[in-house]
């Protein structure tokens, strides 16, 4: 497995070793020992899966401490543009976002530690997204940031007339108004 550091501390791209031949392919999507050696030492307690159609943007979501979640995101069908926003107060990259394409064909995964808001847009006709979480869903601590916040300026790679948002995501607050109790502790 290859671990690629992004320009935001703690945010990592995981590129598994894929074995392909005439029959198809095989790879380990998760191996605790290999991930621990790479510094990812979460104990995953919940797996989530979503299926979405082209133009859907899900996010930007997070849970407040003490229920914050680290996530390991991958795609098993289609392609998404996966985005993480650093919301850790005091971080040298506070308010900075990072986006990358994850797809069933590139096998890449994005590791998102606690202290990030997360979202994705669907670039293919449909996409199935799987992600591991190291904390259970806690509805009372769920928070978010509206995906089209002009201060963040995220390009979701979807024409504005094709964007599909849930009513809940459409009504999320701006970054400057979002409740946030994360503090950067260094990496």
Quick one: average pLDDT of 99-121?
Answer: 98
Bridge partners for 164 per DSSP: 56
Confidence of residue 187 (pLDDT cuts 50, 70, 90): low
CATH 3.30.590.20 fits 2-177, yes or no: no
Section 6-11 average pLDDT: 95
How many residues are recorded in the chain?
Answer: 187
Q: Which residues contact 36 (CB under 8 A, 6 or more apart)?
A: none
For the question of whether the overall pTM of this predicted structure is more than 0.75, the answer is: yes
Q: Which residues are catalytic?
A: 61, 131
Q: Cα dist. 98→11, 12, 27, 30, 154 in Å? A: 9, 10, 26, 23, 9
- The mean predicted confidence, pLDDT, of the chain is 97
Provide the residue ranges of all domains of the chain, joining segments of one domain with +: 2-177
- pLDDT interval class at 185 (50, 70, 90): confident
User: Which pLDDT does position 186 carry in this prediction?
Assistant: 76
Residue 147 per-residue DSSP state: T
- Give 23-58 pLDDT, tens digit per residue: 999 999 999 999 999 999 999 999 999 999 999 999
């Amino acid at each position: 497995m290859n671990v690629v550091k992004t320009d935001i501390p703690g945010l990592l791209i995981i590129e598994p070793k894929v074995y392909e031949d005439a029959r198809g392919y095989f790879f380990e999507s998760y191996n605790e020992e290999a991930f621990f050696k790479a510094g990812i030492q979460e104990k995953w307690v919940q797996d989530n899966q979503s299926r979405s159609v082209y133009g859907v943007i899900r996010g930007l979501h997070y849970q407040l401490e003490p229920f914050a979640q680290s996530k390991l995101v991958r795609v098993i069908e289609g392609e998404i543009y996966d985005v993480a926003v650093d919301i850790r107060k005091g971080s040298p990259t506070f308010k900075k976002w990072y986006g990358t394409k994850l797809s069933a064909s590139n096998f890449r995964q994005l590791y998102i530690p606690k202290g990030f808001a997360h979202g994705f847009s669907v670039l293919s006709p449909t996409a199935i997204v799987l992600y591991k979480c190291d904390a259970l869903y806690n509805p009372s601590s769920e928070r978010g940031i509206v995906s089209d916040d002009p201060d963040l300026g995220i390009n979701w790679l979807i024409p504005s007339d094709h964007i599909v948002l849930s009513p809940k995501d459409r009504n999320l607050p701006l970054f400057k108004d979002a409740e946030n109790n994360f503090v950067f502790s260094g990496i």
